[in-house]
Amino acid sequence: MNFITIPSEIERRSMEIIAPYLKEYHLSEEEIKVYSRIIHASGDPEYAPIIKIHQDAISKAKAALLNGADIYTDVEMVRTGINKKRLAEYGGQVHCLIADPEVAKKAKEEGITRSMAAVRSFGKALNGSIVAIGNAPTALFEILHLMQQEEIYPALIIGVPVGFVGAAESKEHLMETSPVPYITVRGNKGGSPIAAAITNAILYML
């Protein structure tokens, strides 16, 4: 079997194959980068029609990251997928509390998901940060609740929880009520690689 083994060539060829799927959407160059990374990470061009990027999302996120903003994730897989070396060049770090024993205890006591308890624990640290939710609809609902009730305002919400129980609803709720810019995908699809792909697409624009 002959196959391409040079990483840069694999990525170049992949982006070339993805480009035609995006033609009809009249995207900016930066939006093309976000769309392409999502489709590259999922192998699924059917993401194109469901991606929703708030008009200020990319510019606000870039400004925050250049200013050293941290990134907060709901689950470890999102943290793992983010290019932390690139983020560190600008002074930022990635935080995730889902494996924290205190968070697990709190979740059990309150009968809520660990990702929801983890997001709640971040509290005011979320101000000015990038939030990347790739797994739990409950975590995204919790972020929206924090913004409304406690006036905590991240610079950008990357909200792409996945699944059949609350995911689609949480993302519609994000688009309808978020006081800050967001990037999301409508419907049941999403997940950790999608959250990481969006985050990395923006990091690579800096």
Q: Which of 22, 27, 30, 42 binds a second copy (CB under 8 A)?
A: 42
CB of 41 to a second copy, least distance (A): 7
Q: Judging by DSSP bridges, how do beta strands 182-185 and 51-53 pair with one another? A: antiparallel
Contact segment (CB under 8 A) with a second copy among 25-33, 57-65, 119-127, 160-168 equals: 160-168
Residue 81 in the binding site for a second copy (CB under 8 A): yes
C-alpha neighbours within 13 Å on the C-beta side of residue 30? 17
Q: How far apart are CA 1 and CA 173, in angstroms?
A: 48
Best CA proximity match to 183, nearest among 69, 62, 34, 44: 34
| Residue 173 appears among annotated catalytic residues | no
Q: Tally the residues of the chain.
A: 206
Count of chain residues binding a second copy (CB under 8 A): 45
Which CB, 59 or 110, lies closer to a second copy?
A: 110
Tell me, rounded to whole angstroms, the distance of Cα 90 from its chain centroid. Answer: 18
Contact segment (CB under 8 A) with a second copy among 36-44, 56-64, 87-95, 124-132 equals: 36-44
For residues 169-200, b (16+ Cβ closer than 10 Å) or e, as one string?
Answer: ebbebbeeebebbbbbbeeebbbbbbbbbbbb
Q: How far apart are CA 113 and CA 118, in angstroms?
A: 9
Q: Which of 113, 129, 199, 200 binds a second copy (CB under 8 A)?
A: 113
Q: Which of 22, 63, 104, 112 binds a second copy (CB under 8 A)?
A: 112
**Any idea which residues carry the catalytic annotation?**
40
Contact positions vs a second copy (CB under 8 A): 1, 3-7, 10, 13-14, 17-18, 40-44, 76-77, 80-81, 111-114, 116, 137-138, 141, 162-167, 169-170, 173, 187-193, 196
